[in-house]
Amino acid sequence: MQVFFYFVPAEEYELNLRCVALLYFLIMTQQQKLNWKRFPLNFISQITRMKKVFKRIAYTLLFIFIFFNIMCAFQAYHFTRFYDNVTKQNPQQMGFLDKTNAILFGVPMPKSKVVDSLHIPHSSETITTQDNFKLASWYAPHTTKDSIKPKGTIIMFHGHGSSRSGIITEAESFYNLGWNIFMIDFRAHCESSGNECTVGVNEAKDVEAAYKYVQAKGEKDIVLYGISMGAATISKAMSDDSSLQPQKIILEMPFGTMLGAAEGLIRTMHLPDEPLGVELTFWGGLETGNWSFNNNPEEYVKKIHCPVLLQWGEEDIRVTQKETDHIYANLGTTQKTLVKYPDRGHESLCKNAHEKWMNSVTKFLN
């Protein structure tokens, strides 16, 4: 928006003031039968009254602005925190005051629970990140008993608020294709330590720890798989640590920017993207000690140079086609494939479009 300042000559300005004063005098004299001698007093009184009105409006707007920011700060805080001893509340069982409080100030979010329904041989292990977070994990290698020579190891990363239990179907599918599986819970999720989630920024250290743990087992053929925040976090890790050299990468529904991720979350609540998106991004970053506006996977992927399979559902309201196209265009490799799923949203593509998903990953991994 361009703003133009127009400076009125002094003579014209004085003439305008006289015209306004005369017009005001004529109106007041005609409608209220005022004595012309009281004109200056009435004019000043009107100006004083208008100042009070404008002051009240200004105070009201200031109150709304402050309250809106407080509300967004609380919501952002709960969006980036998960706790062990918190029970998830059912909105249908909440009273009016509880619902109002939840809408305005959010509620503490519990860590998701692990459901070990992984129907392949596996063991539970714990790894430690460079900043001393303990990450719960499952390791499912092929053994000599199943007569399958493993093709390598796929390291798997879940989405925001989820856990390794949420990607069991994908894990079993990869395992049946002949791959060893290693899957973790991100920090602040499920059985891993910590409560604060930075939506990919610090979680990149979790990706590095998982990669180096598998590498230390002597594995050379490593594939990284991530869904949603897990995919975005892989891109951050690849940008931060050049020693990560996976054979291939599978990214499903990564957000393009942290602002885009916040806007996507808001769309799921059927609320307007802005100004809530900017507010949540600002306060979320401030409360976690990061400038979240710089958390941009669409920029991180420029440092990915190995083959990449990027997958996205066309009905996804959290991650837009524009974000997906930017990520695909910015990938730092020519060996890349974009697969779109009609009628699928921000969900497990493996569960909900299994045949197409199997065809896509099988072709990519072979």
Residue 31 CB partners (closer than 8 Å, separation 6+): none
Provide the pLDDT confidence category of residue 23 given band limits of 50, 70 and 90: low
The phi, psi pair for 225, rounded to 5°, reads -125, 130
pLDDT at res. 17:
54
pLDDT at res. 20:
55
Of 95-99, 194-198, 295-299, 338-342, the one with minimum mean pLDDT is 95-99
Indicate if the alpha-carbon torsion angle 162, 165, 169, 172 is positive or negative: positive
pLDDT at res. 29:
55
Each residue of 117-176: pLDDT tens digit?
899 999 999 999 999 999 999 999 998 777 788 999 999 999 999 999 999 999 999 999
- CA dist., res. 220 & res. 151, Å (int): 10
The phi, psi pair for 153, rounded to 5°, reads -125, 130
Distance in Å from the first CA to the final CA of the chain = 53
All domains in the chain, ordered by first residue: 80-105 (no CATH), 123-257+295-365 (3.40.50.1820)
State the average pLDDT over residues 86-113. 75
The phi, psi pair for 127, rounded to 5°, reads -120, 160
Q: Enumerate the β-bridge partners of residue 229.
A: none
Each residue of 65-99: pLDDT tens digit?
999 999 999 989 999 999 988 777 665 666 777 76
Between 274 and 221, the more confident residue is 221
pLDDT at res. 9:
46
pLDDT at 321 over 90: yes
Length of the chain: 366
